[in-house]
Amino acid sequence: MNNKIFGYARVSSKEQNEERQINAFKEMNINERDIYIDKQSGKDFERKQYNILKNILRENDLLVIKSIDRLGRNYEMIMNEWKDITKNIKADIFVIDMPLLDTRNNKDLLGTFISDLVLQILSYVAEQERTFIKARQKEGIESAKNKGIKFGRPKIEKPQNFDIVVNMWKNKEIKSKEAMELLNLKPNTFYNMVKN
């Protein structure tokens, strides 16, 4: 049975583009059907495509990732996943942007020590970057609030004729759709206003 090569790509949101990672996999001749992509945060490993990929990884298969932060951004979890894949599943991992992180090479004690050391440093950096991102977001939000910028949905004022239309609706003189049209409200907004 041939050993397989899989690519794993991750971007933090649907707006981000994973093309740079995909192109790197294609340069390594990884078949498109063997590339798994998640569009969500790297804070944990509860990711659909990652878990599918991990379940099909077999001994001596190769998992390729572009950079360590694409695998995840939580130091301890990255270390645990790496160990699970390399020691329990006995598959190899190659990090394109850090050729020292290639478990196919230098499987002796010194090679393993160097790989583990580099992995620990990069995993730490990935988690620190996540912490910095969250801190910068918080600072940006605070700064915007101090400038009077409002967050969330704008509060919709109750239309002037609201009570009259709702009474007609409650008395079954008009249907709910007609009431919403008269008040120019969407269903959720209409029912929330009625409830409140």
12 is catalytic: yes
Determine the 3-state secondary structure of 41 from DSSP: coil
Q: Distance between CA 149 and CA 106 in Å, rounded?
A: 55
Could you give the CA distance from residue 85 to residue 102 in angstroms, rounded to a whole number?
13
Residue 130 tokens read as: 């996540």
- Which tokens in the block code for residue 111? 């090679």
One-letter amino acid of 194 = V
Strands 62-65 and 35-39: unpaired
Annotated active-site residue in 12, 13, 123, 143: 12
Catalytic positions, please? 12
